[in-house]
Chains A and B, each alone.
Chain A
Amino acid sequence: MAFDEMRFADGGIRPPYAEVARWLQGVTSAQLERRRAEAELFYRRGGVTFAVYGDAQGEERIIPYDIIPRILSGVEWARLKTGLEQRIRTLNHYLADIYGPREILKAGIVPEDLVWQNPAYRPEMAGLAVPHGIHIHIAGIDIVRVDGDDFYVLEDNARTPSGVSYMLGGREISIRLMPELYAAHRVAPIENYPNELLATLQSTAPRNANKDPIAVLLTPGQYNSAYYEHSFLADKMGIELVEGSDLFVRDSVVFMRTTEGPKRVDIIYRRLDDAFIDPLVFDPGSMLGVPGLFAAYAAGNVTLANAVGTGAVDDKVVYSYVPDMVRFYLGEEPILKNVPTWRCRQKDDLAYVLDHLSELVVKEVHGSGGYGMLVGPHATGADIEEFRQRLLAAPANYIAQPTLSLSTCPAFVDQGIAPRHVDLRPFVLTGADGIRIVPGGLTRVALRQGSLVVNSSQGGGTKDTWVIEDPEMPEARA
């Protein structure tokens, strides 16, 4: 039985959900259905869509939105936030280290081949001083709960995490469609996220930048699955949404083509993978990037957020070493837990995994988006056999983890109100002037009964996430 965030096992209501439970008692399915339809219309008309790759007919889809908010108490959030800050400081240390002095390798804490053989490691970055020493400006760290006490990190997502527009869109819907429930709480605001993001980006401008540094958002273009989010963020920050062809490099300085002639660009929030940013250095076939961009970056004339090569921490084997990194770099005990991970590259671990395939989740080391994974308890015998062959063929490509019983929250589904599994993606911003995290994050929910896969590409939906003032202190309320 999974941990439910609203109800104790005995049926009692956990304090943060007191108001939600009361509200759910009074609301009818018809009312919920009407609001769900309105929420969908809000997304549809706003063009808040995403594309699913490999899906020819559904060119633009909306992500299902569940209108019942997910609640975190102020105390829960405070601890999570401290843990996230610790985690991101560690990962930034690690990247500065592996592209710099490599202390952690010398100390024998992380095996060297995990760095050198990692396809996301960019040798071009070695010895390169990035502006203000920041590598991961924006992370979307996936968090899950299995009980009332601990938060587990599932993935660090240090490349170009998306979903923040759904976090912000969800809040707009809550305020419009659930005013009575919203008013019954004191909900920490999140709408300042674009402001915080802009401040973060501007704080990391190269030292020789314009006095008022110019930031732009670089998108692969309107056929990218997250294009809506790119345009949304650029709009809310008031910065230009550029494509590769809008930029050019002259004398190692980046310019954009404007109606008033070339204009220098200092900071590029790029939503384009490393491989595509500069055809002269990386994928030569890329039409999306800017020739010469990496040279400008190496010369220290432009900030890329995130830095090149941050994918080196998204490797799922590297992930398993993060608790050791926390101890190594910060001398602290990790606040957030790691999911126990069997590294199939190690003989003993592989043997264990092969014996327990039907209980474990097996993932590709470099996979993402819920693709290419085996969820043992939900897989057929044939699936398991197929994965066994894949594992044997290339064990180093896989890790395995126990099937976590992800926490559940009430969701409004075809069967009425029912518990569904959720995770949480808080967005962690790191600037030269500190770490910023707006309270909460994007809650993703697996809308199919029993499903543990929350990815939007696999039928997951989203929920608004409320960090509320703690109900233990009712005197604080007016």
Chain B
Amino acid sequence: MLSRTADSLFWLSRYVERADYLARVLEAATRLSALPRAYGTGTNEWESALATAGCRDLFQRFHETPSAANVTDFLAFSEDNPASIRKCLEIARTNARAVRTALTSEMWEAINGAWLELQQMPAHADADGLMRFLDWVKEMSLRVDGSGYRTMLRNDAYWFARLGIFIERADNTARILDVKYHVLLPEHAVVGGGIDYAQWAAILRAVSALTSYHWVYRQGLQPWLIADLLILNQQMPRSLAACYEAIVGNLERLGSDYGRHGEAQRLARSTYVQLQNSRIEQVFQGGLHEFISAFIVNNNRLGGAIAAQYLS
């Protein structure tokens, strides 16, 4: 297939995935910010939402102090932010339109339908409108994801689209961990009580794993188990390990189909093996923060290798 087509499929998926993630981050932040100040939340919750979304610097060019209103607007609707949810959906649709022939009509209609609905929505939203908007975003991503899953041929187009989802998802999960790692550190657990519970639950919510946690571990929230769930547990679809299982699988299929494996396959496999062979105790011993930082660098490097090998 055309390199440009593969590139558009890859980024189309990434942007839809990112929109979904931003919706979850905003939802989690909204919940936290509504807790009493004694819970150590308040406005810095919005700062951390910006950090999690990776656009704190850009935000500061337009606003002084982060507040509920200006952060939600910036992350959800702003034209100034090239990675706001609205912009993500617009870019996803532009990519989809550029590669319509590679999409099934169901998938195109899911994306184009969402874009058309977006045109009808107000440019900003109050608190009530925001929650409805975020629900809509999550639903939209399910529609796009599901229509692709159910209708696309299992060939290179599908594998590139899937790769985009999982590279982005791995990046998102890692970013949440990167911003919030301090509340998962063992010394922090000593404090205990409702404060931590709120923070931990917020992390899990942002990756839609709060209920899953209980099914996997069958006990109350423990920080190291949360880290285990998000980093190493392959049952958890947003964990780094699960993302890499999918990335490796899709890259292997591409490599076999094209008859050539390259740098992308090698990098992905090496990260995956590392995740498979780690135990959470070792991760903490080596430093959670260091582990996550290294992962983000490697994940970006893999994105670059995929681009060099296939997309240009």
Residues of chain A having any CB pair with chain B under 8 Å:
44-47, 221-222, 227-228, 231-232, 234-235, 240-243, 245-246, 256-260
Contacts and interface: CB of A to CB of B under 8 A. Distances in A.
Q: Which 5 residue pairs of A and B lie closest in terms of their CB atoms, listed nearest first?
A: A231-B100, A235-B101, A259-B310, A257-B3, A234-B101
B4 A243 contact: yes
A58 to B, nearest CB: 12
Given A47-B97, A240-B5, 16 more contacts: A45-B113, A46-B105, A46-B108, A46-B109, A46-B112, A222-B94, A240-B1, A240-B101, A241-B99, A242-B2, A256-B2, A257-B4, A258-B2, A259-B1, A259-B160, A259-B258
B247 interface: no
B108 A258 contact: no
B258 A260 contact: yes
Contacts of B5: 240
Contacts, number: 58
A189 to B, nearest CB: 20
A258 B1 contact: yes
**B100, B112, B116: residue with the most chain A Cβ atoms closer than 10 Å:** B100
B6 interface: yes
A241 B116 CA distance: 24
B4 A45 contact: no
A42 to B, nearest CB: 11
Nearest to B108: A47
Contacts of B34: none
A249 B97 CA distance: 26
Contacts of A228: 100
Which residue among A44, A221, A256, A259 has the maximum number of chain B CB atoms within 10 Å of its CB? Answer: A259
Contacts of A227: 97
Contacts of A221: 98
B156 interface: yes
Interface in B232-265: 254, 258
Contacts of B312: 257
Interface of B: 1-6, 94, 97-101, 105, 108-109, 112-113, 116, 156, 160, 254, 258, 310-312
Contact of A235 (B3, B6, B97, B100): B100
B3 A246 contact: yes
A435 to B, nearest CB: 27
Contacts of B6: 259
B297 to A, nearest CB: 25
B259 to A, nearest CB: 8
A146 B116 CA distance: 42
A259 B109 contact: no
Given A45-B109, A47-B112, A222-B94, A258 B101 contact: no
Nearest to B97: A222
Contact of A257 (B2, B112, B258): B2
Contacts of B1: 240, 258-259
B156 to A, nearest CB: 6
Contact of B3 (A44, A222, A241, A259): A259
Contacts of A259: 1-3, 6, 156, 160, 254, 258, 310-311
Contact of A44 (B97, B108, B116): B116
B178 to A, nearest CB: 32
A260 B113 CA distance: 33
B307 to A, nearest CB: 11
Contacts of A258: 1-3
Contacts of A256: 2
Nearest to A243: B4
A327 B155 CA distance: 54
B245 to A, nearest CB: 22
Given A47-B97, A235-B100, A245 B4 contact: yes
Tell which of B3, B6, B101, B310 has the most Cβ of chain A within 10 Å.
B101
Contacts of A245: 4
Contact of B101 (A47, A241, A246, A257): A241
A258 B7 CA distance: 11
B4 A47 contact: no
A335 B149 CA distance: 54
A258 B1 CA distance: 5
A242 B2 CA distance: 8
Given A45-B112, A46-B109, A259-B310, A246 B100 contact: no
A231 B2 contact: no
B161 to A, nearest CB: 13
Tell me which of B3, B105, B156 has the highest count of chain A C-beta atoms within 10 A of its own C-beta.
B3
A359 B306 CA distance: 66
Nearest to A228: B100
Contacts of B116: 44-45
Contacts of B2: 240, 242, 246, 256-259
A176 B112 CA distance: 22
